[in-house]
Amino acid sequence: MTDSRPLKMLILFADYGYGHRSAALAVHTALQHRYGDQVQAEMVNPIDDNTAPKFLRDEQQKYDQRVTGTPNLYRLTYELSEKKISTTLTENAMIVLLHETMTRALDDIQPDVIVTTYPLYLAPLSGIFSIKRMHYPIITVVTDFTSVNRIWFNPISDFTTVPTEAARSIGLARGIESDQIRMTGIPVHPRISLENRQKAEIRRELGWNPDLVTILAVGSTRVRNLKETLHVINHAGFSLQLAIVAGGDDRLYTELSQMEWHHESHLYNRVNNIPTMMHAADLILCKAGGLITSEALACGLPLLYVDVIEGQETGNAEYIVKEGAGELVTTPLEALETLCHWLDHDGEMLQQKADNARRIGSPQAAFEIADMAYHAAEQGPHPLERSIFNMERLTNLLANFKLPEDAAQTG
């Protein structure tokens, strides 16, 4: 650094699900924890900006509805997006749609480094860099384990962080240099790695029985089959307790509140301490989301998946099953059978799953990425030596497909 000002960091995310925002928040928190007032980090969701096209904001808000209401269509859309021609079309579209919004964000913040946890911002950034003839260091944080869309890997990124060797291989096949891909894991909130108390102590703090096998069940409007699975477990002859989080699904919370529970149960609608609950539990029932999977692994918590978004989350489930850290079940009866196996012989198999989860977990990922961002920011922006784009083509693209004046207005 040539002066005493804090290093400016722009952290980009989107709200398609919880994972992108949570990964961004994890890195932001790690930066503050590690570097304090040496950095000035700002989290920005360009799609939420009033200058972004309204239909993009609407699509973000309708994400849950699309995933649960038309899962087959969502899966098909995801699979098509993996094709090279689809990737090119998508990138061109995002260059046009977010050019103004993201140019303004860069001009306002003037960052020394950019961290993005959402891949569709990379193409617009590459277009902006070409026009400005300036390169801002970029760190791209991949938030899926193995089903990683090719659009995550863009040569404009100085570093791309990945959670698995399979994801790294996809990046190499996409043409990214090996020294630009870092195996860090998916970033989780720093408080996960800072928690060192025993389960019994945390359970007492939460008001749970410290001596019972504890199942944490986490739902939301995107999780199917959870209520039916809990109904079967509720009538099983195990000695256990249930901690159930509805995840803001008011209907699910009401239905669960009306159930007669035969095990000691603790029911919540919305919470902000899931990592603490994970440290207190012995296993988790959930869907195969990247965020909750990453947090569970960082806590050494075995995963019993009761739902999966086909395409986007399939790879997450396959990876966890392959590594012996969990199972994917398709029916409540299958969930019960799996629990029987896990809890038999004094929980020997459950302990094996926990050991495997801890082995592949990455509780320090947020700090690793924070360090990468800090060192990249010390280098700062620099003149662009070679544009990724043909400037005539880029200029024509922006001019020929300019949005109508009212396309970004709210309504």
Q: Report the CATH number that the domain containing residue 145 is assigned in CATH.
A: 3.40.50.2000
Do 199 and 69 have their domain in common?
A: no
Report the domain count for the chain. 2
Q: What is the pLDDT of residue 400?
A: 64
Please check whether residue 410 lies inside any domain of the structure: no
Do 25 and 146 have their domain in common?
A: yes
Q: What is the pLDDT of residue 343?
A: 95
Q: What is the pLDDT of residue 407?
A: 42
Rounded distance between C-alpha atoms, residue 238 and residue 235, angstroms: 9
Q: What is the pLDDT of residue 66?
A: 52
Please check whether residue 314 lies inside any domain of the structure: yes
Domain residues for the domain of 226 are: 191-360
Q: Go through the chain and tell me how many residues it has.
A: 411
Identify the H or E element spanning 170: helix 165-173
Please check whether residue 282 lies inside any domain of the structure: yes
Do 374 and 353 have their domain in common?
A: no
Please check whether residue 409 lies inside any domain of the structure: no
Please check whether residue 204 lies inside any domain of the structure: yes
Do 88 and 227 have their domain in common?
A: no
Do 381 and 232 have their domain in common?
A: no
- Please list the residues that pair with 159 across neighbouring strands: 139
Please check whether residue 168 lies inside any domain of the structure: yes
Do 350 and 322 have their domain in common?
A: yes
Do 177 and 222 have their domain in common?
A: no
CB atoms within 10 A of CB 288: 26
Please check whether residue 1 lies inside any domain of the structure: no
Please check whether residue 2 lies inside any domain of the structure: no
pLDDT in tens, the chain (411 residues): 446 799 999 999 998 777 899 999 999 999 999 999 999 999 999 999 888 888 787 776 665 555 555 454 344 444 444 555 467 778 888 888 898 999 999 999 999 999 999 999 999 999 899 889 999 999 999 998 987 888 899 999 999 999 999 999 999 998 999 999 999 999 999 999 989 999 999 999 999 999 999 999 999 887 888 999 999 999 988 899 999 999 999 999 999 999 999 999 999 999 999 999 999 999 999 999 888 999 999 999 999 999 998 777 888 999 999 999 999 999 999 999 999 999 999 999 999 999 999 999 999 999 999 999 999 999 999 998 776 666 666 666 666 665 444 444 443
Do 154 and 12 have their domain in common?
A: yes
Do 252 and 347 have their domain in common?
A: yes
The two tokens of residue 300 are 């050494």
Give the residue ranges of DSSP H helices in 195-331.
Answer: 199-206, 226-234, 250-257, 274-280, 290-298, 314-322
Q: What is the pLDDT of residue 138?
A: 98
Do 159 and 206 have their domain in common?
A: no
Do 52 and 126 have their domain in common?
A: yes
Rounded distance between C-alpha atoms, residue 36 and residue 254, angstroms: 42
Do 30 and 95 have their domain in common?
A: yes
